[in-house]
C-alpha cells in the first residue's frame, strides 16, 4: 500500500502521493466520561488534577481554563447530539404520520393485487420452481404497479418517504426490494439490477443471478404467502431499456412469483409512457397514488419543531425569516430546510458557551438540572451568563437563583407562546394562512412592544429602538389577518375553533376558563340563532360572539405571545446569528473567489497596495491579472494581457528602485533584483495557471492559441 504512516509535517513526498495517512488517532481519549465526572463533582471551579493533566501548557490558571473549555465544549457537543436527535426523531415522526395515509393505500393495493393474482391461480410450491411459465396469456402476465406521484420537482425529499414506505411494507409482512436509479442504469444492465434485487432478499447470491434462485427462495415456507414489492423511487432517472427488460422478465413469472412494482414519479403520469416501450408498458397494470404537497409537510414540521418547543432550541426572528426565504426561494425542499435548521442548531451550540443548558428544557425536572449545572459553573462562565445583554436588562443581581428563575420563566413563557400561536393558526387555517408565516411574525421581537407591554414583561431596549423604524407598516400582518378572520367565521367553525383552543390552552387555566365560558355562551347564542332564523336576521348574537372571541384572542396575544427574543437569558436557547448561518449554508465560490482577487487588499491588509487607485504592481500577481482581465471581452488576447502585465510590473519595479535609493528598507530590496523577461514571464504563467485552477479562464484552444477564454463575468 502506498500510504505510509507519517508523523512529520507535510513534506515534498506528501504532495505527490495520491493519498497518505497523515497521522493516527492519539491514544483513545474519551473526554466525555471525564467531563461528566467533572460536572458531577459540583464544586465550583475546584482544581481538578485530571483536567489539568490534559492541557498542553503547564501554566496554572490558563491551564485550568482550557480544561474547562474542553469540558464544556464536550458538554455542548453532547447537548447538540441530544437536541438534534430529538428534533430528528420528531421530524421523522411527523413525516411518517403525514405519509401514513399513502402508505396504507399502498399496502391495501398490494394486498388486493396479491389476492387478485392468487384468485386466478394458486400454484403449488413445486410448480413455482418449474422453469416454464404457467400461463402464456398476455392479460395474465401484467404486473400490478403503483405509480406514486410525488409532486416534487426535487427528488431529494422523497428519499426518506420511500425509505419509510419500504419500512412500512416490511413491517406488514411484504418482502421489499428497493432499486435505485443508479442500479437501473445501462451500466449495470438488467443482470446487475436483478442481482441487486436478489441480494436484498436472499442471504447469499451466487454469481449467476437468475429467476430460478428467486423462485426457490420464494418457495421456502416462510417466504411463500407474501408479495414481493419492488420500490423504484425515481422512475424518471432510470434507464428505460433496463427497466423494460426487467419488467418483461418478471412479468413472465408474475403468477408464480408475485413481484409488484411501486414507482415514484416526480413529473406526470406520462413519464412511464415516455420511458418504457409499449410492450413493456402493456405488462404493467397501473394504479395511481399521490403524495401530499411539500407545503403541507412544511407546516406540519414547523408546528412540531419550531412552534412546540420540542427540543429546547429555538430560532430568532431573523433566522426564521431567512429559513422561510431559503425554503421558498432556494428549492422548496424539506430536506434543505432541515439541513439549514441543523446547521443553525450546530452553530448555536458551537458559539454559545451556555448552550448546553438547552437540554434542561427536555429534562423532567428542568430546575433541578439547571441547579446542578449552575453549582459547578466556573466563575468565568457565570460572569458571562450575567453579562448577556438580555439578562442585563432584566436584573442586576448576580446569583444563580436569579438565573434559574429566568430560565424557568423562559420555559414557561415559551410554552404559553406556543399554545397561543397554535390557537392563532387554528383560526388562521380557515383563511389559508401558513403556519410558517404566523410563526415568523410571532417571533418578531417588535411585536411585543407593539402590543403595549405589560409591566412584568421585560421589553429590551433594542426592541424599542427597532420599533421606531418599523411600526408604520404593521397593520397588515398575518396575525391581524387572523383576527379579521375570526370576526367573520361562521358559528359552526367558530365552535370548532374554540374546541381546539381549549385543547391547546390546557396548561393555561385562566385563559382556558374564559374559553369555556365563551363556549357555553356560544351554545346559548346558537340556540338563540336557531330561534331567530325564521325572522331572517342573520344572527346578531353571532356577531357579538365573534367579537368576543376576537377580544379574547387579542387579549391573550397581548399577554402571552411574547417573542423569545425579548426574554432574559434567551441567548442560551435561541440562535440569532443569521449571517454565520447563511455563509455556512450557501457557499458562493463563483462570487467570492472573484472578490478575493479583485479586492485582495482587504484580505491581506498590506500597507503597500492602495485600494481604489489604478492596478498597482505591488498587488498579488494573480490579482493584477484578474483586474486586467476585467478590461477584456469574453476572450483575452494573451499577447496584450502579457504586455499589460509586464508594463505594470516594470513600472512598479522602477518606482521601487527609485524609492530604494532614498530608503533602502529590507522589504524593498528583496523585490528589486533586476527582473529579467524570464521572471516576468514565469510570474505571468503562474498567475494564468492559478486563474485556470480557480476556473476563471479556460486555456486557449488549438485553433486559437493566442486567446484564452474568460469564464466568469462580474463578481
Partner 1 sequence: MAPRGGRAAASSGSEDEEEEAGFSRSYFLAKEKEPLSGKKRARAAAGKLSDLNLVDEQVLRASLAEIPPKHKEEVEALTRSYKDQYRNWLFELRCGFGLLMYGFGSKKQLLEDFASTTLTDFTVVVINGYLPSVNLKQVIATIAEMFWDQTKAKRKRQPGTRSQLSQQFPSQSTEDIISFLMRQTSDDVDDRVCLLIHSVDGPALRDAESQQCLAQISCCPQVRVVASIDHVNAPLLWDKKMVHKQFKWSWYHVPTFAPYKVEGVFYPLILASGGHAQTTKTALVVLQSLTPNAQSVFRVLAEYQLANEKEEGMPVSSLYTKCRERFLVSSQVTLNSHLTEFKDHDLVKIRKHSDGQDCLRIPLVCDALEKLLQELA
677 binds partner 1 (CB under 8 A): yes
List the interface residues with partner 1, window 348-387 (CB under 8 A). 349-351
Cα–Cα separations (whole angstroms), residue 56 to 53, 65, 189, 307, 375: 8, 12, 57, 44, 27
Does residue 233 interact with partner 1 by CB under 8 A? Answer: no
Q: Which of 437, 526, 565, 571 binds partner 1 (CB under 8 A)?
A: 437
C-beta closer to partner 1: residue 314 or 597 = 597
Query: Residue 638, interface with partner 1 (CB under 8 A)?
Result: yes
Q: Does 393 bind partner 1 (CB under 8 A)?
A: no
- Residue 692 interacting with partner 1 (CB under 8 A): yes
Site for partner 1 in 168-207 (CB under 8 A): 182
Least spacing, CB of residue 457 vs partner 1, in Å: 19
**Binding window for partner 1 (CB under 8 A); candidates: 279-287, 376-384, 517-525, 693-701:** 693-701
Which range touches partner 1 (CB under 8 A), out of 167-175, 299-307, 526-534, 702-710? 702-710
C-beta closer to partner 1: residue 49 or 473: 473
- Told to check if 696 binds partner 1 by CB under 8 A, we report yes
Chain residues 580-619 in contact with partner 1, contact rule CB under 8 A = 583-587, 589-590, 592-594, 596-597, 600, 603-606, 608, 618-619
Minimum gap (Å) between residue 294 Cβ and partner 1: 13
Spatial CA neighbour of 574 closest among 348, 311, 271: 348
Q: Applying CB under 8 A, which of residues 226, 390, 449, 694 lies at the interface with partner 1?
A: 694
Nearer to partner 1, 68 or 596 (CB): 596
The residue with cell 474568460 is 710
351-380 burial, b if ≥16 CB within 10 A, otherwise e? ebbbbbbbbbbbeeebeebbbebbebbbee
> What is the spatial distance between Cα 594 and Cα 444, in angstroms, rounded to a whole number?
36
**Residues 348/355, Cβ–Cβ less than 8 Å:** yes
Q: Which position among 68, 245, 526, 690 is part of the footprint of partner 1 (CB under 8 A)?
A: 690
Among 207, 364, 492, 634, binds partner 1 (CB under 8 A): 634
- 345: buried, middle or exposed (CB in 10 Å: 19+, 13-18, 0-12)? buried
Q: Which of 72, 84, 109, 147 binds partner 1 (CB under 8 A)?
A: 84
Choices 17-25, 293-301, 532-540, 542-550 (CB under 8 A): range interacting with partner 1: 17-25
Q: How far is the CB of 226 from partner 1 (least distance, A)?
A: 26
Smallest distance from partner 1 to CB 36, Å:
17
Decide whether 73 or 372 has the Cβ nearer to partner 1. 73
Burial 27-42 (b: 16+ CB within 10 A, else e): eeeebeebbeebbeee
637 touching partner 1, by CB under 8 A: yes
Residues 477 to 516 in contact with partner 1, rule: CB under 8 A: 477-478
Q: How far is the CB of 43 from partner 1 (least distance, A)?
A: 26
SS3 labels along 383-444: HHHHCCHHHHHHCCCCCHHHHHHHHHHHHHHHHHHHHHHHHHHHHHHHHCCCHHHHHHHHCC
What interhelical angle do 400-428 and 491-504 show, nearest 10?
Answer: 160
Nearer to partner 1, 25 or 119 (CB): 25
Helix axes 156-171, 334-351, angle to 10 degrees: 100
Taking CB under 8 A as the rule, does residue 632 contact partner 1? Answer: yes
Q: Please state the closest distance from residue 678 (CB atom) to partner 1, in A.
A: 4
The region of 116-124, 298-306, 414-422, 670-678 touching partner 1 under the rule CB under 8 A is 670-678
What is the closest distance, in whole angstroms, from the C-beta atom of residue 477 to partner 1 in the complex?
Answer: 6
Tell me how far CA of residue 530 lies from CA of 277, 526, 537, 538, in angstroms. 64, 6, 11, 10
Of the candidates 49, 58, 674, 676, which one interacts with partner 1 according to CB under 8 A? 676
Pairing of strands 259-265, 314-315: unpaired
Binding residues for partner 1, rule CB under 8 A, total 128
Closest CA to 557 of 685, 452, 708, 640: 452
The dihedral over CA atoms of 361, 365, 371, 372, expressed in degrees to the nearest 10, equals -100
Find the part of the chain contacting partner 1 (CB under 8 A) among 135-143, 205-213, 217-225, 473-481. Answer: 473-481
* Least distance CB 316 / partner 1 (angstroms): 12
| Closer to partner 1 by Cβ: residue 134 or 635 | 635
Q: Are strands 143-149 and 284-290 parallel, antiparallel or unpaired?
A: parallel
Contacting partner 1 within 123-162 (CB under 8 A): 154-156, 159
Q: Does 533 bind partner 1 (CB under 8 A)?
A: no
CA distance 23 to 354: 33
Q: How far apart are CA 147 and CA 269, in angstroms?
A: 8
- Which of 238, 261, 246 has its CA nearest to residue 185? 238
Give the SS3 label for residue 460. coil
Q: Does 431 bind partner 1 (CB under 8 A)?
A: no
Residue 314 is given by DSSP the state: E
Binding of residue 670 to partner 1 (CB under 8 A): yes
Report, in Å, the least distance between residue 30 CB and partner 1: 9
Using CB under 8 A as the binding rule, the residues of this chain from 18 to 37 that contact partner 1 are: 18-26, 28-29
Check residue 565 for interaction with partner 1 (CB under 8 A). Answer: no
Nearer CB in complex with partner 1: 316/402: 316
d(CA 629, CA 711): 11
574 contacts 317 by C-beta, under 8 angstroms = no
Among 282, 464, 642, 655, binds partner 1 (CB under 8 A): 642
Which range touches partner 1 (CB under 8 A), out of 254-262, 466-474, 510-518, 528-536? 466-474
Considering only residues 260, 620, 628, 645, which one is a binding residue for partner 1 as defined by CB under 8 A? 620
659: contact with partner 1 by CB under 8 A: no
Q: Nearer to partner 1 by C-beta: 122 or 329? A: 329
Is 488 or 632 the residue whose CB approaches partner 1 more closely?
632
> 256-265 burial by CB neighbour count: b if 16+ within 10 A, else e?
bbbbbbbbbb
Where is 490: in which H helix or E strand?
none
Q: Which is nearer to partner 1, 91 or 498 (CB)?
A: 91
Strand order in the sheet with 635-637: 635-637, 707-710, 697-698
H/E stretch holding 304 reads none
Query: Which of 35, 63, 72, 76 is in the footprint of partner 1 by CB under 8 A?
Result: 76
* Long-range contact pairs involving 77-83 (C-beta distance under 8 Å, separation at least 24): 77/349, 78/32, 78/35, 78/356, 79/349, 79/355, 79/356, 79/358, 79/359, 80/345, 80/346, 80/349, 80/350, 82/359, 82/362, 83/311, 83/312, 83/313, 83/345, 83/349, 83/358, 83/359, 83/362
The residue (of 385 and 619) whose beta carbon lies closer to partner 1 is 619
Cβ-based nearer residue to partner 1, 544 or 682: 682
Cβ proximity of 597 and 431 under 8 Å: no
Residue range at the interface with partner 1 (CB under 8 A); choices 453-461, 487-495, 501-509, 666-674:
666-674
Torsion of CA 615, 619, 625, 629, to 10 degrees: -40
CB of 381 to partner 1, least distance (A): 16
From residue 289 to residue 318, what is the string marking binding to partner 1 with x (rule CB under 8 A)?
----------------------------xx
d(CA 609, CA 620) in angstroms, rounded, equals 9
**Window 438 to 457, contacts with partner 1 (CB under 8 A):** 440-441, 444, 446-447
Amino acid at each position: 500500500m502506498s500510504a505510509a504512516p507519517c508523523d512529520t509535517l507535510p513534506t515534498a513526498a506528501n504532495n505527490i502521493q495520491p493519498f497518505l495517512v497523515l497521522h493516527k488517532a492519539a491514544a483513545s481519549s474519551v473526554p466525555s466520561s471525564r467531563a461528566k465526572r467533572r460536572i458531577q463533582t459540583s464544586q465550583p471551579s475546584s482544581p481538578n488534577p485530571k483536567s489539568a493533566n490534559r492541557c498542553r501548557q503547564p501554566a496554572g490558571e490558563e491551564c485550568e481554563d482550557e480544561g474547562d473549555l474542553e469540558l464544556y465544549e464536550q458538554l455542548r457537543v453532547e447537548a447538540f447530539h441530544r437536541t438534534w436527535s430529538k428534533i430528528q426523531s420528531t421530524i421523522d415522526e411527523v413525516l411518517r404520520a403525514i405519509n401514513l395515509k399513502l402508505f396504507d393505500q399502498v399496502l391495501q393495493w398490494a394486498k388486493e393485487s396479491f389476492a387478485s393474482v392468487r384468485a386466478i391461480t394458486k400454484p403449488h410450491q413445486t410448480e413455482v420452481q418449474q422453469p416454464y411459465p404457467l400461463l402464456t396469456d398476455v392479460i395474465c402476465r401484467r404486473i400490478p404497479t403503483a405509480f406514486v406521484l410525488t409532486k416534487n420537482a426535487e427528488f431529494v425529499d422523497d428519499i426518506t418517504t420511500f425509505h419509510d414506505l419500504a419500512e412500512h411494507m416490511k413491517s406488514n409482512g411484504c418482502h421489499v426490494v428497493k432499486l435505485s436509479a443508479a442500479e437501473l442504469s445501462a451500466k449495470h444492465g438488467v443482470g446487475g439490477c436483478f442481482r441487486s434485487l436478489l441480494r436484498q432478499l436472499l442471504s447469499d447470491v451466487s454469481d449467476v443471478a437468475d429467476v430460478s434462485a428467486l423462485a426457490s427462495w420464494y418457495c421456502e415456507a416462510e417466504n411463500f404467502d407474501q408479495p414481493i414489492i419492488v420500490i423504484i423511487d425515481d422512475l424518471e432517472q432510470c434507464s428505460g431499456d433496463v427497466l423494460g427488460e426487467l419488467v418483461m422478465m418478471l412479468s413472465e413469472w408474475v403468477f408464480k412469483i408475485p413481484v409488484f412494482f411501486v414507482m415514484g414519479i416526480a413529473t406526470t403520469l406520462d413519464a412511464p409512457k415516455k420511458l418504457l416501450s409499449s410492450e413493456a408498458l402493456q405488462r404493467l397494470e397501473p394504479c395511481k397514488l399521490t403524495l401530499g404537497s411539500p407545503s403541507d409537510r412544511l407546516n406540519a414540521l414547523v408546528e412540531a419543531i419550531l412552534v412546540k418547543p420540542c427540543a429546547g432550541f429555538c430560532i430568532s426572528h431573523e433566522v426564521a425569516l431567512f429559513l422561510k426565504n431559503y425554503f421558498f426561494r432556494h428549492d422548496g425542499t424539506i430536506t434543505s430546510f432541515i439541513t439549514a435548521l441543523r446547521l443553525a442548531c450546530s452553530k448555536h451550540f458551537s458559539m454559545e458557551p451556555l448552550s448546553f443548558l438547552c437540554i434542561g428544557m427536555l429534562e423532567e425536572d428542568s430546575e433541578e438540572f439547571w441547579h446542578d449545572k449552575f453549582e459547578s459553573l466556573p466563575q468565568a462562565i457565570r460572569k458571562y451568563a450575567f453579562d448577556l445583554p438580555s439578562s442585563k436588562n432584566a436584573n442586576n443581581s448576580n446569583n444563580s437563583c436569579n438565573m434559574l428563575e429566568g430560565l424557568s420563566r423562559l420555559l414557561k413563557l415559551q410554552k404559553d407562546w406556543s399554545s397561543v400561536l397554535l390557537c392563532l393558526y387554528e383560526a388562521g387555517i380557515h383563511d389559508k394562512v401558513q403556519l410558517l408565516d404566523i410563526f415568523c411574525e410571532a417571533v418578531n421581537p417588535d411585536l411585543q412592544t407593539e402590543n403595549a407591554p405589560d409591566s412584568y414583561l421585560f421589553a429590551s431596549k433594542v426592541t424599542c429602538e427597532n420599533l421606531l423604524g418599523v411600526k408604520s407598516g404593521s397593520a397588515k400582518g398575518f396575525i391581524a389577518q387572523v383576527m379579521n378572520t375570526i370576526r367573520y367565521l361562521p358559528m359552526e367553525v367558530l365552535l370548532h375553533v374554540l374546541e381546539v383552543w381549549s385543547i391547546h390552552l390546557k396548561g393555561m387555566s385562566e385563559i382556558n376558563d374564559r374559553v369555556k365560558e365563551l363556549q357555553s355562551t356560544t351554545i346559548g347564542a346558537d340556540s338563540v340563532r336557531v330561534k331567530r332564523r325564521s325572522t331572517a336576521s342573520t344572527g346578531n348574537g353571532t356577531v357579538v360572539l365573534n367579537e368576543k372571541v376576537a377580544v379574547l384572542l387579542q387579549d391573550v396575544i397581548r399577554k402571552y405571545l411574547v417573542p423569545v427574543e425579548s426574554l432574559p437569558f434567551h441567548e442560551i436557547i435561541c440562535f440569532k446569528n443569521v449571517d454565520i448561518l447563511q455563509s455556512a449554508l450557501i457557499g458562493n465560490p463563483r462570487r467570492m473567489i472573484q472578490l478575493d482577487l479583485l479586492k485582495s487588499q482587504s484580505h491581506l491588509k498590506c500597507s503597500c497596495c492602495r485600494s481604489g487607485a489604478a492596478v498597482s504592481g505591488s498587488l498579488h500577481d494573480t490579482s493584477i491579472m484578474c483586474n486586467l482581465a476585467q478590461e477584456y471581452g469574453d476572450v483575452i488576447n494573451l499577447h496584450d494581457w502579457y504586455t499589460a502585465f509586464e508594463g505594470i510590473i516594470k513600472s512598479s519595479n522602477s518606482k521601487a528602485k527609485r524609492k530604494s535609493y532614498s530608503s533602502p528598507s529590507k522589504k524593498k530590496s528583496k523585490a528589486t533584483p533586476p527582473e529579467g523577461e524570464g521572471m516576468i514571464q514565469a510570474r505571468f504563467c503562474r498567475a494564468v495557471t492559478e486563474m485556470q485552477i480557480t476556473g476563471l479562464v479556460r486555456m486557449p484552444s488549438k485553433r486559437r492559441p493566442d486567446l484564452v477564454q474568460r469564464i466568469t463575468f462580474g463578481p
